[in-house]
Structure 1
Amino acid sequence: MADEDGASPRELILEACRRDNTSLLEETIANLASAASKAGKNPTEYVAETLNKAFDGVGNGCLHLAASYGSYDALDILLDQEGVEIDEIDRMEKDTPLHKAVRYVNSLDKSDWASGHPVVDILLDAGCDPRIRNKAKLKPLELVDPRNTELRSILQKGEFAMTAGGDVVNEDDDGPTGSASDSD
Structure 2
Amino acid sequence: MTDDGASPRELLMEACRRNNTSLLEEVLADLAAAGGEKATEHVAKVLNEARDGIGNGLLHMAASNGSYEVLDVLLDQEGLEIDEFDRLEKDTPLHKAVRYVNSLSPNEWEAGHPIVDILVDAGCDPRIRNKAKLRPFDLVDPRNTELRKMLQQAEFTMMAGADIVQEDEEDGAAGSGSESD
TM-score, normalised via structure 1 length: 0.87
More helix by share: 2
Q: Distance in 1 between matches of 2:161 and 2:87?
A: 28
Q: State the shift of 1:167 in Å.
A: 6.3
Q: State the shift of 1:119 in Å.
A: 0.2
Q: Distance in 1 between matches of 2:127 and 2:48?
A: 21
Point out where structure 2 has 5 or more consecutive residues left out of the alignment.
165-181
Matched residue, 2:123: 127
Root-mean-square deviation (CA), in Å? 1.4
Q: State the shift of 1:164 in Å.
A: 1.2
Matched residue, 1:11: 10
Number of positions where the alignment pairs a residue of Structure 1 with one of Structure 2: 165
Runs ≥4 residues deviating over 4 A? none
Q: State the shift of 1:47 in Å.
A: 0.4
Q: Distance in 2 between matches of 1:74 and 1:118?
A: 13
Point out where structure 1 has 5 or more consecutive residues left out of the alignment.
169-184
Task: String of CA shifts for 1:93-132, please: whole Å, max 9, x gaps.
Answer: 0000000000000000000000000000000000000000
* 1:78 paired to 2:78: no
AA in 2 matched with 1:66: A
Over 3 Å counting, the alpha-carbon distance change for 1:157 and 1:166 in structure 2 is: farther
Matched residue, 1:2: 2
Q: Distance in 2 between matches of 1:166 and 1:65?
A: 32
Q: State the shift of 1:165 in Å.
A: 2.0
AA in 2 matched with 1:8: S
* 1:112 paired to 2:108: yes
Match of 1:84, SS state, is: coil
Matched residue, 1:181: none
Q: State the shift of 1:2 in Å.
A: 1.6
* 1:24 paired to 2:18: no
User: Which structure 2 residues correspond to residues 27-176 of structure 1 after superposition, within 5 A?
Assistant: 27-37=26-36, 41-165=37-161
Q: Distance in 1 between matches of 2:5 and 2:73?
A: 23
TM-score, normalised via structure 2 length: 0.88
Q: Distance in 1 between matches of 2:148 and 2:5?
A: 43
Q: State the shift of 1:166 in Å.
A: 6.3
AA in 1 matched with 2:27: T
Q: Distance in 2 between matches of 1:92 and 1:166?
A: 33
Specify the structure having the higher radius of gyration (Cα): 2
